[in-house]
Amino acid sequence: MNVFSQGLESLRLLLIGVPGLSSLASAPYLFRPLVMLVALAIVGAAVGVLVNLRSAEFHAEALVHAVFPGIVIGAISGGIDAVIPAACAAGAVAAGILTLISHRSRRDASEAGTAVVLTGFFSVGLILLLRTGDRSGQLEALTFGRLLEVTDLRLAQALVVCGVALLLVGGTWKEQVYRAFDAVGARTGGQRVLALDLVLNMAIAAVVVSAATAVGTLLVIGFLTIPGTTARLLAKDMSAMLGISVGIGLGGGYLGMLLSAMPLPRPVSPQACVVMVMAAALLTAVFISVWRRRRG
């Protein structure tokens, strides 16, 4: 852990003199969130593109809520630093359950089962959290995040989980894209569709887990849906879609952090600023898309 902290500090000192980054690299409490947002932008973009191509936004929302019990168990048993390890276990279980539901049920029944998992897991998390007393402040922290309170340990844990998610989608990228565009062809072509769906669900859960303590379980859905949707409106091929998605995530993280660090009359939530910037980019993409259609 000392090696990671020293490396992170060396990187911060190296970037202090870079124009545009000096204000965020000047203090560790701003630089750690920036590194976290960069990792989430890259991983969330790749996973979010697949979520958009599969029209799996509701599935992603279900995983966001299904991970919540693990987050609560980790926070109660071992403190905030134990959230990510416990959430990993809950995410793996939830991903497996949702994958089985989607493959063993009709479409309408699958959506109903997904909704049951979403509400059921989130309710369990709330019950566990409130059993230990009044934890309204901790509930707010877990649902909306505390980006400026990211420690070296939590950042290291999040980067490891982000790396796992990137390996999952990167190792099956071609198959995932084929599955998204032609599900019947992928099945008849001999691909293991069940395994591909499980891998994607595990990757989504990994993004949620990595952002649990920083961005919060409710706002992380923005990293999984907004960049990919924005890229879908602007891109003409898969390479451009992935590049635009990464750019939206990076730009949203950078501008959101700058906005939250400005001297304002009252402090604002940095993670909310990041999602707000990405949402503004999505609205801009909608207008550009409409303008293109009217011209052509």
Q: Which domain holds residue 129?
A: 24-295
Burial class of residue 126 in the structure, from the number of CB atoms within 10 Å of its CB (0-12 exposed, 13-18 middle, 19+ buried): middle
pLDDT tens digits, the chain, 296 residues: what are they? 688 889 989 999 899 888 888 888 888 888 999 999 999 999 999 999 999 998 888 888 888 888 888 888 887 887 777 888 888 888 888 888 888 888 776 655 567 777 888 788 888 887 887 776 655 556 666 677 788 888 888 899 899 999 999 999 999 999 999 888 888 887 887 788 888 999 999 999 999 888 877 887 778 888 899 999 999 999 888 899 999 999 999 999 999 999 888 887 787 888 889 999 999 999 999 999 999 888 87
Q: Please check whether residue 247 lies inside any domain of the structure.
A: yes
Q: Please check whether residue 143 lies inside any domain of the structure.
A: yes
What's the total number of domains in the chain? Answer: 1
Please give the single-letter amino acid code of residue 166.
L
Question: Angle at the Cα of 135 (from 131 to 138), degrees rounded to 5?
Answer: 125
CATH number of residue 56's parent domain: 1.10.3470.10
Closest by alpha carbon to 227, among 248, 203, 206? 248
Give the sign of the dihedral formed by CA 56, CA 61, CA 63, CA 66: negative
The whole-angstrom separation of Cα 199 and Cα 221 is: 18
Q: Please check whether residue 2 lies inside any domain of the structure.
A: no
Record the tokens describing residue 156, joined without a space. 């290291």
pTM of the model: 0.89
Q: Please check whether residue 73 lies inside any domain of the structure.
A: yes
Question: Residue 224 belongs to what H/E stretch?
Answer: helix 220-234
Closest by alpha carbon to 58, among 149, 119, 7? 119
